Amino acid sequence: MAKLAPSLLSADFANLKEEIEKIKVGGAEFLHLDVMDGNFVPNISFGIPVIKSLRKVTDLIFDVHLMIEKPERYIKDFVQAGADIITVHQEASLHLHRTIQEIKSHGVKAGVSLNPATPIDVLEYIIKDIDLILIMSVNPGFGGQSFIPAMLDKIRATRDLIDRENPGVILEVDGGIKLSNAKELVEAGADLLVAGSEVFGAEDVVERTREFNKLIV
């Protein structure tokens, strides 16, 4: 059984509280929060103060995806802002093992994300220390891009790796996920599906969230 993590990046930023309430009513348990620094990725989104304010209006699980260089500089701030899961990019953190230990020392779940071109071998010596792997199925930075087909095999290979090395690890997939390909991704082994434009771009966000949930259970 898989779960949905709607990405706030495609929500109406002038009405964040209402947008979050809609996915909650639709049955979402997670909220995916994309933090971008204009350096690791060519876009800037939102950061610590926004997450801190949202923490006061919802009990959804905050799944924070840091697309920032040297994320180790800000772990404590994101924990204090209310993150439940913090995922950093392998490509952005030179001393990844230390960064993961820092995240876990604050009592939150630690994830590692890989860009589409990064092989999963880089997880070999860290997989036993982490709670989640986030496979990017688009190049990070923007919502509304198309799923990169080669990522389907990568998801399957990551599922095998998890089953072999640390079965408790959550396999999250992010980018280009629609109602039309969600089922295939779950069959490939995904546990947590991030969807931004397909959820918040819908005419009826509550209904779209329900549709996703029905499809992937």
Q: List residues near ligand DX5 by CB under 6 A.
A: 7, 9-10, 32, 34, 65, 138, 140-145, 174-177, 194-198
Q: Would residue 12 show up in a list of annotated catalytic residues for this protein?
A: no
| CA 102/CA 135 separation, integer angstroms | 22
Of these partners, ligand DX5, Zn ion, none, which one is at the site of residue 4 (CB under 5 to 8 Å by kind)?
none
Catalytic residue among 37, 63, 131, 174: 174
d(CA 173, CA 209): 17
Contacted by 196, from Zn ion, ligand DX5, none: CB < 5 to 8 Å by type: ligand DX5
The binding site for Zn ion (CB under 5 A) comprises 34, 65, 174
* Known catalytic membership, residue 34: yes
Buried b / exposed e along 18-50 (16+ C-beta atoms within 10 A): ebbbbbbebebebbbbbbbbeebbeeebbbbeb
Q: Which does 216 bind (CB under 5 to 8 A by kind): Zn ion, ligand DX5, none?
A: none
Catalytic residue among 12, 34, 131, 160: 34
CB of 217 to ligand DX5, least distance (A): 19
Q: Which residue is nearest to ligand DX5 (CB)?
A: 196
Which 3-state string (H, E, C) describes 48-99? HHHHHHHHCCCCCEEEEEEECCCHHHCHHHHHHHCCCEEEEEHHHCCCHHHH
Catalytic residues: 34, 174
